[in-house]
Structure 1
Amino acid sequence: MVESILKKILLHTFSIASVTWVFFQLTFWLILLIPVSLGKLLFHSANKFWSRVVSFIYHGAVFCNTIWMKHVIGVKINIEGKFKKHPSPIVISNHQSWVDIPIIHHAITDRGPIIKFLVKRQLVWVPIIGWLCLILGFPRLHRGKGHGAREKDYATIRKFSEKSNKESGAILIFPEGTRFSEAKQKAQSSPYRHLLNPRIGGLRILKEAGDPDTPIIDLTLIYLGGNSNFWECLHGATSVIEVKISVYRLGDIEDLSEWLSERWKEKESLISLRQQPVISSKER
């Protein structure tokens, strides 16, 4: 009994240490990025130089996160598949947990460009994380239900897509729009056991505005053992995470809705095959 309690205390302490590490590391990189962002505002002619500095800092942050995940927490990340280097690919993935972010960074940014996310506008008010999103120029969406909010979001994505054709940087989209949970799955009446229904909204705008030769890097994230709970993953509850990489050419996709549906069917089959037991019902 006492041994069990002590073990739980130790595991929670490890998770607290992991969160503390992430907080201080993000703060450190934020401090480095502030003068760089000011330099970009004041000296537009040197934007290429500042972009290289941002990329260097970003890759440094990803490297440190990967070291912590693999060598401190002890997560083994198995990556299956490759992609050719491209300055501005589109990345899509299923979304299980906040842990997805460092895993995707390891799979993509370790081998290629920095990643930019579609984020809610309200996120910029969150200390550290929101400020990083603002400085790094992440496209900010309203995510409202009204027609006006959707039109503004589409305009933001279109503008970002046109800009990304000129600048280096991958754009990451989670077509499910939120992290998986059994409660959300039931609320959506999702036909998938391990996934939510995908939506084509942002991806459709990127297809309309993007270069046909742009690659879509499709990632399938699989938490072996089924536990993708963020807090528990921070103390090593899931020791192996698999990443399956598939690559498609944007211009080869005719019916985006049908294509995305096929991808999700493939993901469901792959996750069902590799993942036992079923994902925890806890909110991620």
Structure 2
Amino acid sequence: MLRWLPRPLKGALSLVLYTVNTLFWFIPLLLVAVLKLLPVKQWQAWMSYLADAIAVAWISFNNLTTHIFTSIKWHIEGLEKLSRKDWYLIIANHQSWADILILQNIFNRKIPFIKFFLKKELLYVPFMGICWWALDFPFMKRYSKNFLLKNPHLQGKDIETTRKACEKFRFKPVSVMNFVEGTRLTQQKHDKQQSPFQYLLKPKAGGTAFVLGAMGEQLHKLLDVTIHYPDGIPSFWDYISGKVRAITVNINVLPISKELIGDYNDLVYRERFQQWLNQLWIEKDQHLARLQSNGK
């Protein structure tokens, strides 16, 4: 392909193709979003599948751009256990903006199109809000602790509202993504947190527990994803310009047991869930340490 080009030129051409590809597919997606406003359930279901197909095509062309301009050696474990007809919650460590492109790359056409939980207020962002709605991104309603103290009758109402918004996923397979650390890993953030992990930030249990509380009965499996960059954490530019030589991704498929689903306001459940997530993060940190020592 064009991997022999100078790195700055590869990066510039990749960025142009990513941008053109995004604008090209944004137009039909926006049209589908408008058509989906027709309040007929069966029609809206058809439009939802069409919107997902558009998103998959967008990712496929992005992946083609990556293939043309980069020569990444991929080491991936766990893809063979996955299906586009199943329901997944995905959690992963977060180190770079490239993480999202990598997850879209490896999971495209392997599982349902990946969606992110968004704050309900984002529904009103011009153009993008209606596109996220057309793609069935789940919008969540969250109340602050101070608000709940003043309005105790609304305790648990946020979960109930979000759960109703996710009813459509009972019949339509979905993959929901959550970066548990809440932000990208940097040394400065690691030091500020005084993180007990060598290669990770502290996991934030609240967001994951909220997703499970709202969608636990619809989600069948949890994909615990570990992303490792043998040559160091790359920037987005490093990734699209061909500087990244190797990427290792491990996918651990776990069941979503009833013990993982509960009300995060319940202290007993909260402590149990935090212990479970911390143990998962201890194992992930150990796995990253082994990969680093092996140079993989």
- Do both proteins adopt the same fold according to a TM-score greater than 0.5, normalized to the shorter chain? yes
Of residues 96-105 and 63-72 in structure 1, the stretch that sits farther from structure 2 once superposed is: 63-72
In structure 1, stretches of 5+ residues that fail to align are: 1-8, 279-284
Question: What's the counterpart of residue 273 of structure 1?
Answer: 290
In structure 2, stretches of 5+ residues that fail to align are: 149-154, 261-271
Structure 1 position 240 matched with structure 2 position 246: yes
**Aligned-residue offset at 1:21:** 1.8
Question: What's the counterpart of residue 51 of structure 2?
Answer: 54
**Aligned-residue offset at 1:164:** 2.5
Question: What's the counterpart of residue 94 of structure 1?
Answer: 93
**Aligned-residue offset at 1:120:** 5.4
RMSD (CA atoms): 3.2
Secondary structure of 1:112's partner?
Answer: coil
Note the alpha carbon deviations across 1:252-282, whole angstroms, 9 max, x for none: 655322221122112211222223799xxxx
Structure 1 position 77 matched with structure 2 position 74: yes
**Aligned-residue offset at 1:147:** 4.0
Question: What's the counterpart of residue 116 of structure 1?
Answer: 115
Secondary structure of 2:32's partner?
Answer: helix
Give the letter for the 1:229 counterpart.
Answer: S
Structure 1 position 176 matched with structure 2 position 198: no
Give the letter for the 1:171 counterpart.
Answer: V
- Cα distance in 2 for partners of 1:143, 1:23 equals 33
Secondary structure of 1:220's partner?
Answer: strand
- Cα distance in 1 for partners of 2:217, 2:102 equals 27
Structure 1 position 34 matched with structure 2 position 40: no
Secondary structure of 1:242's partner?
Answer: strand
**Aligned-residue offset at 1:10:** 4.4
Taking a change above 3 Å as real, the CA distance of residues 213 and 118 of structure 1, as seen in their structure-2 partners, is closer
Secondary structure of 1:171's partner?
Answer: strand
- Cα distance in 1 for partners of 2:124, 2:237 equals 23
**Aligned-residue offset at 1:245:** 0.6
- Cα distance in 2 for partners of 1:120, 1:19 equals 28
Note the alpha carbon deviations across 1:13-71, whole angstroms, 9 max, x for none: 43232222222111111111111112211262322322221222121112112222233
Note the alpha carbon deviations across 1:85-109, whole angstroms, 9 max, x for none: 2432111111111111121112323
1:22 paired residue among 2, 18, 27? 18
Question: What's the counterpart of residue 139 of structure 1?
Answer: 138
The number of residues matched between the two structures is: 270
- Cα distance in 1 for partners of 2:125, 2:217 equals 34
